[in-house]
């Protein structure tokens, strides 16, 4: 080993009193820490799992009688299918009949607490559309006493195309690029 030279070429001497660390890291302490960390991680996950099960059971007890359509669909998929049978009128009776509007309203009132701002968004939108359609596409009275009527939009466009826009009283707008008279005189007054 005498043929191997150190990088310091012998200029640095080893001082045992002030030298480098000769002991290795404490592997036992590090492994012990990692084991304790893993145990606490597993215990935390088990405690959270138990808490979620407890909270889920509490929610089921609180909402015992109320089921949503998705829950009904999941429950129907879990139970064995009953074969379809003929009704008295000769039609097929399925596993689940369609929900009526009254049933839907009752279910929504049970699921969502008051005040319910919009029980049925589709119905509300259809009602609004029909009211708007009636205003925009049909004749109706605005004021019977004065003889003012509302005409459909299509007819209003035809009338406007035939007669043109009504004349507006007042000054005509200035041509593009022309300065109004009031602003043209303003610089002369400032001097």
Q: Per-domain residue ranges for the chain?
A: 28-64, 118-165
CA–CA distance from 18 to each of 8, 12, 13, 26, 97 (Å)? 18, 13, 11, 21, 90
Higher per-residue confidence, 160 vs 101: 160
Q: Can you tell me whether residue 142 is helix, strand or coil?
A: strand
Whether the predicted pLDDT of 41 surpasses 90: yes
pLDDT tens per residue across span 120-150? 788 889 999 999 999 999 999 999 999 999 9
pTM reported for the whole predicted model: 0.31
DSSP per-residue string spanning 58-114:
HHHHHTTT---HHHHHHHHHHSPPPPPEE-TTSPEE-SSPPPPHHHHHHHHHHHSPS
Tell me, what's the pLDDT at 95?
46
**Mean pLDDT (the chain, rounded):** 78
């Amino acid at each position: 080993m005498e043929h191997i030279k150190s990088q310091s070429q012998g200029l640095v001497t080893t001082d045992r009193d002030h030298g480098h660390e000769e002991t290795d890291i404490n592997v036992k302490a590090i492994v012990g820490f990692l084991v304790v960390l893993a145990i606490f991680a597993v215990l935390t996950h088990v405690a959270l799992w138990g808490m979620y099960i407890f909270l889920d059971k509490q929610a089921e007890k609180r909402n015992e009688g109320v089921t949503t359509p998705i829950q009904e669909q999941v429950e129907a998929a879990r139970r064995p299918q009953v074969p379809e049978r003929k009704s008295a009128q000769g039609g097929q009776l399925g596993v689940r009949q369609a929900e009526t509007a009254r049933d839907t309203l009752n279910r929504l009132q049970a699921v969502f607490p008051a005040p319910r701002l919009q029980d049925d968004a589709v119905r509300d939108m259809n009602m609004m559309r029909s009211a708007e359609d009636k205003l925009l596409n049909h004749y109706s009275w605005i004021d019977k006493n004065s003889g003012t009527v509302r005409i459909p939009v299509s007819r209003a466009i035809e009338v406007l195309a035939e007669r043109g826009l009504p004349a507006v009283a007042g000054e005509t707008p200035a041509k593009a690029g022309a300065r109004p008279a009031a602003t043209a005189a303003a610089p002369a007054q400032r001097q």
